[in-house]
Amino acid sequence: MNDIDNKLIIYQVFTRLFGNNNNHCIHGGRLAENGCGKMADFTGKALGEIKRLGATHVWYTGIIEHATQTDYRRYNIRPDHPAVVKGKAGSPYAIKDYYDVDPDLAKDVPGRMKEFENLVQRTHRAGLKVIIDFVPNHVARQYHSDAQPDGPDKDFLDCLNPESLTVLTGCKVEPEMRKVAEAFDKQADRTGVNAPTFQFMRVGYFCLDNRDSSAAHMVFNRSVSLKDSFKK
Protein backbone atom coordinates (compact mmCIF):
# COMPACT_ATOMS: atom_id res chain seq x y z
CA MET A 1 0.00 0.00 0.00
CA ASN A 2 1.51 3.35 -1.03
CA ASP A 3 1.17 6.75 0.64
CA ILE A 4 -1.75 7.82 -1.56
CA ASP A 5 -3.84 4.93 -0.22
CA ASN A 6 -3.32 6.22 3.34
CA LYS A 7 -4.07 9.85 2.56
CA LEU A 8 -7.11 11.42 4.22
CA ILE A 9 -9.25 13.49 1.87
CA ILE A 10 -11.94 15.52 3.61
CA TYR A 11 -14.99 16.77 1.72
CA GLN A 12 -16.28 19.76 3.68
CA VAL A 13 -19.81 20.91 2.99
CA PHE A 14 -22.02 23.62 4.44
CA THR A 15 -24.94 21.33 5.16
CA ARG A 16 -27.72 23.89 4.72
CA LEU A 17 -26.55 24.76 1.19
CA PHE A 18 -26.22 21.22 -0.14
CA GLY A 19 -29.51 20.25 -1.75
CA ASN A 20 -31.02 23.73 -1.67
CA ASN A 21 -31.95 24.33 -5.30
CA ASN A 22 -33.36 27.82 -4.81
CA ASN A 23 -31.50 30.04 -7.31
CA HIS A 24 -33.37 33.23 -6.40
CA CYS A 25 -32.54 33.85 -2.77
CA ILE A 26 -33.61 37.15 -1.22
CA HIS A 27 -31.07 39.14 0.76
CA GLY A 28 -32.18 38.94 4.38
CA GLY A 29 -34.96 36.54 3.38
CA ARG A 30 -36.73 34.13 5.68
CA LEU A 31 -36.38 30.35 5.62
CA ALA A 32 -39.65 30.04 3.72
CA GLU A 33 -38.34 32.41 1.04
CA ASN A 34 -34.78 31.18 0.59
CA GLY A 35 -35.14 27.54 1.51
CA CYS A 36 -32.58 25.32 3.19
CA GLY A 37 -30.87 22.07 2.36
CA LYS A 38 -31.78 19.06 4.49
CA MET A 39 -29.82 16.17 5.95
CA ALA A 40 -32.00 13.89 3.86
CA ASP A 41 -30.55 15.47 0.69
CA PHE A 42 -27.37 13.48 1.32
CA THR A 43 -28.78 10.37 -0.28
CA GLY A 44 -26.87 7.16 -0.82
CA LYS A 45 -26.32 8.19 -4.45
CA ALA A 46 -25.00 11.64 -3.49
CA LEU A 47 -22.64 10.16 -0.92
CA GLY A 48 -21.49 7.58 -3.42
CA GLU A 49 -20.52 10.36 -5.82
CA ILE A 50 -18.57 12.09 -3.04
CA LYS A 51 -16.80 8.80 -2.42
CA ARG A 52 -15.99 8.55 -6.14
CA LEU A 53 -14.16 11.88 -5.87
CA GLY A 54 -11.67 10.13 -3.63
CA ALA A 55 -12.94 11.51 -0.33
CA THR A 56 -12.47 9.49 2.84
CA HIS A 57 -14.43 11.78 5.19
CA VAL A 58 -17.39 14.15 4.96
CA TRP A 59 -17.20 17.23 7.16
CA TYR A 60 -20.77 18.37 7.80
CA THR A 61 -20.52 22.03 8.83
CA GLY A 62 -23.41 23.60 10.74
CA ILE A 63 -25.05 20.49 12.19
CA ILE A 64 -25.35 21.51 15.85
CA GLU A 65 -28.26 23.77 16.75
CA HIS A 66 -27.34 27.44 16.56
CA ALA A 67 -29.05 30.78 17.11
CA THR A 68 -31.58 31.74 14.44
CA GLN A 69 -34.43 34.15 13.79
CA THR A 70 -36.67 31.34 12.56
CA ASP A 71 -39.44 30.77 15.09
CA TYR A 72 -39.59 27.16 16.33
CA ARG A 73 -41.59 27.78 19.50
CA ARG A 74 -44.28 25.37 18.30
CA TYR A 75 -41.64 22.65 18.72
CA ASN A 76 -40.72 23.88 22.22
CA ILE A 77 -37.48 25.46 21.03
CA ARG A 78 -36.74 28.71 22.81
CA PRO A 79 -36.51 31.72 20.44
CA ASP A 80 -33.47 33.94 20.00
CA HIS A 81 -33.66 37.71 20.11
CA PRO A 82 -33.01 39.12 16.61
CA ALA A 83 -30.61 41.73 18.02
CA VAL A 84 -28.02 39.03 18.76
CA VAL A 85 -28.45 36.83 15.66
CA LYS A 86 -26.40 37.26 12.50
CA GLY A 87 -28.90 37.64 9.67
CA LYS A 88 -32.05 35.54 9.58
CA ALA A 89 -30.43 32.10 9.51
CA GLY A 90 -27.78 32.88 12.12
CA SER A 91 -24.19 31.71 12.34
CA PRO A 92 -23.45 27.97 12.59
CA TYR A 93 -20.75 28.91 15.10
CA ALA A 94 -23.17 30.53 17.54
CA ILE A 95 -24.23 27.31 19.27
CA LYS A 96 -27.40 27.49 21.36
CA ASP A 97 -27.67 23.79 22.28
CA TYR A 98 -24.75 21.38 22.14
CA TYR A 99 -27.15 18.47 22.71
CA ASP A 100 -29.26 19.12 19.61
CA VAL A 101 -29.07 19.54 15.84
CA ASP A 102 -30.23 22.44 13.70
CA PRO A 103 -34.00 22.15 13.06
CA ASP A 104 -33.54 23.97 9.72
CA LEU A 105 -31.81 20.84 8.41
CA ALA A 106 -34.65 18.44 9.22
CA LYS A 107 -37.65 17.51 7.11
CA ASP A 108 -39.40 16.49 10.32
CA VAL A 109 -38.36 18.90 13.08
CA PRO A 110 -39.42 16.68 16.03
CA GLY A 111 -37.45 13.81 14.47
CA ARG A 112 -34.35 15.85 13.68
CA MET A 113 -32.00 13.80 15.86
CA LYS A 114 -33.13 10.59 14.17
CA GLU A 115 -32.53 12.22 10.79
CA PHE A 116 -28.99 13.02 11.89
CA GLU A 117 -28.41 9.46 13.07
CA ASN A 118 -29.66 8.22 9.68
CA LEU A 119 -27.27 10.63 7.93
CA VAL A 120 -24.34 9.19 9.88
CA GLN A 121 -25.41 5.65 8.98
CA ARG A 122 -25.78 6.48 5.26
CA THR A 123 -22.36 8.11 5.26
CA HIS A 124 -20.77 5.05 6.81
CA ARG A 125 -22.53 2.73 4.36
CA ALA A 126 -20.97 4.77 1.54
CA GLY A 127 -17.54 3.98 2.96
CA LEU A 128 -17.02 7.46 4.38
CA LYS A 129 -16.35 8.74 7.88
CA VAL A 130 -18.15 11.65 9.54
CA ILE A 131 -16.76 14.91 10.92
CA ILE A 132 -18.89 17.62 12.53
CA ASP A 133 -17.93 20.93 14.14
CA PHE A 134 -17.97 20.91 17.93
CA VAL A 135 -16.29 24.04 19.25
CA PRO A 136 -16.96 24.48 22.98
CA ASN A 137 -16.21 28.22 23.08
CA HIS A 138 -18.41 29.17 20.10
CA VAL A 139 -21.52 29.78 22.19
CA ALA A 140 -24.58 31.81 21.27
CA ARG A 141 -25.43 34.89 23.34
CA GLN A 142 -28.49 33.06 24.70
CA TYR A 143 -27.36 29.49 25.15
CA HIS A 144 -30.09 27.19 26.42
CA SER A 145 -30.52 23.45 25.99
CA ASP A 146 -34.04 22.32 25.15
CA ALA A 147 -32.80 18.79 24.51
CA GLN A 148 -31.24 18.57 28.00
CA PRO A 149 -33.19 21.12 30.08
CA ASP A 150 -32.31 19.39 33.36
CA GLY A 151 -28.60 19.17 32.59
CA PRO A 152 -25.82 21.33 34.02
CA ASP A 153 -26.76 24.15 31.63
CA LYS A 154 -30.19 24.65 33.15
CA ASP A 155 -29.08 27.96 34.62
CA PHE A 156 -25.91 29.57 33.33
CA LEU A 157 -25.05 31.23 36.65
CA ASP A 158 -25.48 27.93 38.53
CA CYS A 159 -22.55 26.54 36.53
CA LEU A 160 -20.15 29.22 37.71
CA ASN A 161 -17.87 29.36 40.71
CA PRO A 162 -19.39 32.13 42.88
CA GLU A 163 -15.90 33.43 43.59
CA SER A 164 -15.40 34.09 39.88
CA LEU A 165 -18.37 36.48 39.68
CA THR A 166 -17.58 40.16 39.74
CA VAL A 167 -20.41 42.70 39.71
CA LEU A 168 -19.57 45.95 37.93
CA THR A 169 -21.64 49.07 38.55
CA GLY A 170 -21.40 52.64 37.31
CA CYS A 171 -19.63 51.54 34.12
CA LYS A 172 -19.64 53.48 30.89
CA VAL A 173 -20.77 51.43 27.91
CA GLU A 174 -21.13 52.00 24.19
CA PRO A 175 -24.47 53.59 23.20
CA GLU A 176 -25.22 50.65 20.90
CA MET A 177 -25.20 48.30 23.88
CA ARG A 178 -27.90 50.35 25.56
CA LYS A 179 -29.94 50.20 22.35
CA VAL A 180 -29.69 46.41 22.43
CA ALA A 181 -30.86 46.31 26.04
CA GLU A 182 -33.76 48.65 25.23
CA ALA A 183 -34.74 46.42 22.30
CA PHE A 184 -34.86 43.43 24.65
CA ASP A 185 -37.06 45.34 27.09
CA LYS A 186 -39.51 46.36 24.36
CA GLN A 187 -39.80 42.91 22.79
CA ALA A 188 -39.51 40.68 25.86
CA ASP A 189 -43.25 39.95 26.04
CA ARG A 190 -43.40 38.96 22.38
CA THR A 191 -40.13 37.04 22.12
CA GLY A 192 -40.09 35.48 25.58
CA VAL A 193 -36.37 36.31 25.75
CA ASN A 194 -34.72 37.91 28.76
CA ALA A 195 -31.50 39.86 29.06
CA PRO A 196 -28.66 39.44 26.54
CA THR A 197 -25.06 38.42 27.17
CA PHE A 198 -22.17 40.69 26.20
CA GLN A 199 -18.52 39.90 25.62
CA PHE A 200 -15.94 42.54 26.58
CA MET A 201 -12.70 41.70 24.86
CA ARG A 202 -9.37 41.94 26.71
CA VAL A 203 -11.03 41.66 30.11
CA GLY A 204 -13.33 38.65 30.18
CA TYR A 205 -16.83 37.36 29.54
CA PHE A 206 -19.79 39.12 31.10
CA CYS A 207 -23.53 38.57 31.29
CA LEU A 208 -26.17 41.18 31.97
CA ASP A 209 -27.61 40.80 35.45
CA ASN A 210 -31.26 39.75 35.08
CA ARG A 211 -32.25 40.99 38.53
CA ASP A 212 -30.48 44.31 39.05
CA SER A 213 -29.94 45.57 35.50
CA SER A 214 -32.17 47.79 33.38
CA ALA A 215 -31.74 49.72 30.14
CA ALA A 216 -31.10 52.89 32.13
CA HIS A 217 -28.77 51.27 34.69
CA MET A 218 -26.85 48.31 33.29
CA VAL A 219 -25.21 45.87 35.70
CA PHE A 220 -22.85 43.13 34.47
CA ASN A 221 -21.54 39.94 36.08
CA ARG A 222 -18.08 38.82 35.03
CA SER A 223 -18.35 35.08 34.51
CA VAL A 224 -14.90 34.23 33.13
CA SER A 225 -11.69 36.23 33.43
CA LEU A 226 -9.18 36.09 30.62
CA LYS A 227 -5.57 35.20 31.33
CA ASP A 228 -3.16 38.08 31.75
CA SER A 229 -1.56 37.31 28.40
CA PHE A 230 -4.89 37.91 26.67
CA LYS A 231 -5.37 41.31 28.29
CA LYS A 232 -2.24 42.81 26.78
pLDDT at residue 138, rounded to an integer: 81
pLDDT, tens digit, for every residue of 128-157? 999 998 877 788 877 888 887 766 545 555
* Predicted confidence (pLDDT) per residue in 101-120, tens digit: 999 999 999 999 999 999 99
Return the amino acid letter for 40: A
* Contact of 222 with 204, CB cutoff 8 Å: yes
N- to C-terminal Cα distance for the chain? 51
CA distances to 18, 62, 204 from 128, rounded to whole Å, are 17, 18, 41
CB-based contacts of 230, cutoff 8 Å, min separation 6? 202
Q: Which residues of the chain have pLDDT under 70?
A: 1-5, 150-177, 184-185, 187-208, 210, 215, 221-232
Which pLDDT score is estimated for 90? Answer: 87
The H-or-E segment that residue 51 falls in is helix 44-52
Residues 57 and 25: their CA atoms lie apart, in Å, by 30
User: What beta strand segments (E) does 24-69 contain?
Assistant: 57-61, 64-66
Write down the pLDDT at residue 145: 82
Give the model's pLDDT for residue 40.
96
pTM over 0.75: no
- Looking at residue 148, its pLDDT comes to 77
Are 184 and 195 in contact, with CB atoms under 8 Å apart? yes
**CA atoms within 13 A of residue 209's CA, in its CB half-sphere:** 15
pLDDT of residue 103: 95
167 - beta bridge partners?
221
DSSP 109-149: GGGHHHHHHHHHHHHHHTT-EEEE---TT-B-TT---SSST
Residue 170, pLDDT score: 65
Q: Which residues pair with 65 in a beta bridge?
A: 97
So what's the pLDDT on residue 87?
A: 84
Name the helix (H) or strand (E) containing 12: strand 10-14
